[in-house]
Structure 1
Amino acid sequence: MRRQQLNEFFLMRKKRKKGDIERRLELVRTVSHNTHKKLVSCLQGQLGSDTEKRHKKLPLTALSQSMQEGGGQLGDESLIGKMMDLCGEAESRLASELMQHERQIEKEILEPLNQLAEVDIPNILKQRRQLAKLVLDYDSAKTRWYQATKSTNQAMASKVDSLKDEMDEALNKVEMCKDQLSADLYNFASKEGDYARYYVMLLEAQADYHRRSLAALEAAIPAIHIQQDSWMEKPAFGTALEEHLKRSNREIALPIEACVMMLLETGMKEEGLFRIAAGASKLKKLKAALDCSTSQLEEFYSDPHAVAGALKSYLRELPEPLMTFSLYDEWIQASNVSDPDKRLQALWVTCDHLPKANKANFRYLVKFLARLTQESEVNKMTPSNIAIVLGPNLLWAKTEGTLAEMAAATTVHVVAIIEPIIQHADWFFPDEVDFNVSGMFSMPSHPPTPDLDHGLDRKRPGSLGQDGDSHTPRKDSPARELESTPPPQRNGLVHLAVGTPHSQGGPRIPSPLSVRRGTKKQAPAPPKLASPFSQSNQSTSTSSSSSHPPVTPRRHSSKDIIQAPSHPPPQPPQAHQAQGEPEPSPTSSPTSPDTPPHDGSHSNLPHPPVSPYPSGSLPRPARPAPKPRARPSMPPPPQPAGSDDFCSSASKIITDV
């Protein structure tokens, strides 16, 4: 009894397992069929076609051919053409890798899945239906045999043996089909791990394809970068200074040099330079012209404010300020030194710490701004005014914050840094600067005539004055009491006509420069100062009246050359000491430590006008003039070893005085 129960238990368990397998068969067939269908739709080539035909039908192949054809049409003269040709080759390699990947997927995954879903499982299900039919045949034969054995009819009794044989044969078929079905079910159950392996192989094939594709891209990208980096025509605005200089093989950034040379030619006497905004469209056009390194800049000579705006925009759009983020705290700390002499020393040391490229461009810019302040009588741009409008574009904080907060925190410190550097430009950078560094700006091709020089009114520094040059009267001299500020003139066409000196008497004839532009308000008259310095110069100041017809601005006819100013740069500070002249009385603005002032008055040299306002701000009649600043007396520290040659002679010049 116990043995019979165990046999029944194992038989029921076997039937239950077979029933679970049979139920899972249909589900496996359904999901395998759906997976095969979706995977086929992911293929980009035609299923079952040969290798060459499949490669031609790939979208990547069409893209590669289109890019290579476009590169051939543009040619090697165009960077876009080069990039399209190289990228087209890379896309062709990717297409080859994709074709191999799809062939692998088709052979190792799609075909086995299709075999499982469309052949193997349907055969098992067909065997199951065959077993059900054989069972019905067996039941029918058994019923007929049973009826024959119970029948009393002699004819039916004679057929019992044949019916018995038929029933036994049907039973044998049932048993054979049942054994075959069981074998197929157990075989399917044993191979379920192999069937699941197909999905793992799919991921492995995809990973291998992407690795090969990545290798092809990594092999192509460096060559593409080399071609791109070798292309010289790249935007200068918004590009790091070091990158721009390295790419263009320049010492001074192109926007800085181009703008400075144009301003030297036509903008030195423009009132409110760097302060008055230019037209947005003109500024945008100039920036675009500088970005593509064009030399056709003639049309911008007539708009110095657009040129100044482009220079400010370039400095502001640098990823790192010209005076660097790394030295920001050092600049601020140097500006907070209370003692004027020590403050200059601290600024000198910080300036010497600038990177070579930044220092060269900063020196170039400061020298130009110092030249610009020599015309402050006309352009109203004193060192203080320049520091206010241009300083925030040279140095700003890297810390996060709102734009208003950063501007408010930076402007005050930057003005205290930039103003003394501009005032003492020849002390910070003793060597003279050739503004035409690159040589792409040529001097005028024809010799200047006296009329042309007067018409363009190139005011020379006091250290380079010629005998016979007229002295420009000071703002506090009697000859300037009733004069208005001369208006800015385009293209350098300024006619200097100063009124009759006060000592000669008679009515004063207003200068043509006294007629201001209709779009600007009249500048307030500066207050008269009763200082001994101004009184001592009152008797020596002279003025002359001269009128010359307007002269066409000096321009070179070539489109590849940009004209430069014809006047020479100021002499270095030691030129005065070589003559052995005594040190004159201090000017209203601080001079370099322990060195003669560069704009001192000499008996045989003309001098540029000196503002009675030492702070460099625009005159305000309601406020009294501040006292002159104390002159720094401490020499700068010795030049650190290994520093660049821009300040190599600074210590020697100061200590030899």
Structure 2
Amino acid sequence: SKLSIFLFNDILLLTKKNKQRLNAIREGGKQTYKFIREIKLYRTSIDKSEENSISLIEREHSDLEFSFLFQFTSSSKHEEFLESLKQAFEFIDSRKVFGIPLKKMMKNNRESGLIPSIVEKTVKELLKRNAHKTEGLLRISGNASTILGFLNTVNQGGPINLNALDVHTISGLFKLFFRKMPEPIMTYDLYEEFLEVTNEPSETKKVQQYRKLIERLPDVSQFTLQHIFSFFSLLASYSEINKMTETNIAIVMTPVLLHSKVNDMLAASRQCTANQ
């Protein structure tokens, strides 16, 4: 059916003209609209854009998504709407923290440091609360609904406020930031080379080779890894209390920081070896 669409910076409103207002309009009144649905663009993507039609997918969460097909009466209206959509998505990306490329995120006007603010703030808050002495930190999951709500709030431009969150939820956000990256921080290109280093018998040479690989990463990735590795080192030094040895930390974090583009059984097996 024919809809009237209103596009704002971060939402799309689907409406219908109120038929009962037609006579009033003829007499000089204003047209009113009946609200049909709101599409939140921060969780929406363009699926297809074909001749005079655009398909959108809105994902409420990993198990629930909605598809919308918009058809236009002319190519000019199609192109105008598509261009407006792209501008809206650019605006949304300019405020996002989770789920966008690291380099692009650091151009965000919310970012002013050498590493992502979400990484700096989560680590700082965990240290402030002595969470490195908490059993199972990084291994124990935080509250899933709280984490999802926080992600949505922050990705819509809301503040990174960790005060009301428990330490496991904060560490869950820390892990989620890296998991949501379109490409892992240690990159797909270097995946094979990082895995090859695990075959090096000499621990000294292994560390040297890892360092050389990390030096090939973009500066922001290097600074970020240095920051979190320092945190992991501190965490491991309290393993008698928190039960998070270097091996346990690697088992939890390696798949988040380094994984292949194709997640098959062979890659998973090799990944397991790298965690040892």
TM-score tier by shorter-chain length is: 0.5 to 0.7
Q: Is the 8 A contact 1:289 1:297 kept in 2?
A: no
The Cα RMSD (Å) is 3.3
Residue 240 (structure 1) shift = 2.5
Structure 2 counterpart of 1:268, one-letter code: H
1:278 is aligned to 142
Q: Distance in 2 between matches of 1:359 and 1:346?
A: 15
Residue 316 (structure 1) shift = 2.0
Q: Does 1:333 align with 2:196?
A: yes
Structure 1 counterpart of 2:185, one-letter code: L
Structure 2 counterpart of 1:226, one-letter code: Q
Structure 1 counterpart of 2:245, one-letter code: T
Q: Distance in 2 between matches of 1:297 and 1:223?
A: 34
1:191-340 maps to which residues of 2 (within 5 A)? Answer: 213-218=74-79, 221-222=82-83, 224-231=85-92, 234-248=95-109, 250=111, 251-266=114-129, 267-292=131-156, 293-300=158-165, 303-340=166-203
Residue 349 (structure 1) shift = 0.9
Q: Does 1:356 align with 2:219?
A: yes
Q: Is the 8 A contact 2:116 2:224 kept in 1?
A: yes
2:59 is aligned to none
* From 357, 375, 382, the counterpart of 2:238: 375
What are the Cα deviations for residues 613-648 of structure 1, in whole angstroms up to 9, with x where unaligned?
Answer: xxxxxxxxxxxxxxxxxxxxxxxxxxxxxxxxxxxx
2:32 is aligned to none
Q: Report which structure shows greater RCO (CA 8 Å, sep ≥6).
A: 2
Structure 1 or 2: more strand by fraction: 2
1:347 to 1:79, Cα distance in 2 relative to 1, 3 A: same
1:218 to 1:304, Cα distance in 2 relative to 1, 3 A: same
What are the Cα deviations for residues 288-339 of structure 1, in whole angstroms up to 9, with x where unaligned?
Answer: 3443442433210xx2111112222222232211111100111112221222
Q: Is the 8 A contact 2:184 2:259 kept in 1?
A: yes
4+ residue runs over 6 A deviation: none
Residue 269 (structure 1) shift = 1.6
Residue 233 (structure 1) shift = 6.5
Q: Which has the larger radius of gyration?
A: 1
Query: What SS does the aligned partner of 1:252 have?
Result: coil
1:385 is aligned to 248
1:89-108 maps to which residues of 2 (within 5 A)? Answer: none
Q: Distance in 2 between matches of 1:80 and 1:238?
A: 16
Q: Distance in 2 between matches of 1:234 and 1:352?
A: 29
Query: What SS does the aligned partner of 1:246 have?
Result: coil
Unaligned runs of 5+ in 1: 1-58, 72-77, 85-209, 417-657
Question: What is the percentage of aligned positions where both structures have the same residue?
Answer: 26
Q: Does 1:365 align with 2:232?
A: no
1:291 to 1:220, Cα distance in 2 relative to 1, 3 A: closer
Residue 378 (structure 1) shift = 2.6
Q: Distance in 1 between matches of 2:87 and 2:149?
A: 30
Structure 1 counterpart of 2:180, one-letter code: E
Residue 406 (structure 1) shift = 3.6
Q: Distance in 1 between matches of 2:154 and 2:135?
A: 24
Query: Normalising to structure 2: TM-score of the pair?
Result: 0.65
1:602-613 maps to which residues of 2 (within 5 A)? Answer: none
2:9 is aligned to 79
The total of aligned residue pairs comes to 217
1:11-160 maps to which residues of 2 (within 5 A)? Answer: 63=4, 67=6, 79-80=9-10
Structure 1 counterpart of 2:134, one-letter code: E
1:316 to 1:233, Cα distance in 2 relative to 1, 3 A: same
Q: Is the 8 A contact 1:286 1:306 kept in 2?
A: no
Q: Distance in 2 between matches of 1:221 and 1:288?
A: 24
Residue 393 (structure 1) shift = 1.2
Query: Normalising to structure 1: TM-score of the pair?
Result: 0.30
1:450-469 maps to which residues of 2 (within 5 A)? Answer: none
Q: Distance in 1 between matches of 2:220 and 2:201?
A: 30
1:103 is aligned to none
Q: Is the 8 A contact 1:236 1:255 kept in 2?
A: yes
Query: What SS does the aligned partner of 1:284 have?
Result: helix
Structure 1 or 2: more helix by fraction: 1
Structure 2 counterpart of 1:240, one-letter code: P
Query: What SS does the aligned partner of 1:281 have?
Result: helix
Residue 366 (structure 1) shift = 1.3
Unaligned runs of 5+ in 2: 14-70
Residue 219 (structure 1) shift = 5.2
Residue 363 (structure 1) shift = 1.9
Q: Is the 8 A contact 1:255 1:290 kept in 2?
A: no
1:325 to 1:385, Cα distance in 2 relative to 1, 3 A: same
Q: Does 1:397 align with 2:260?
A: yes
Structure 1 counterpart of 2:162, one-letter code: L
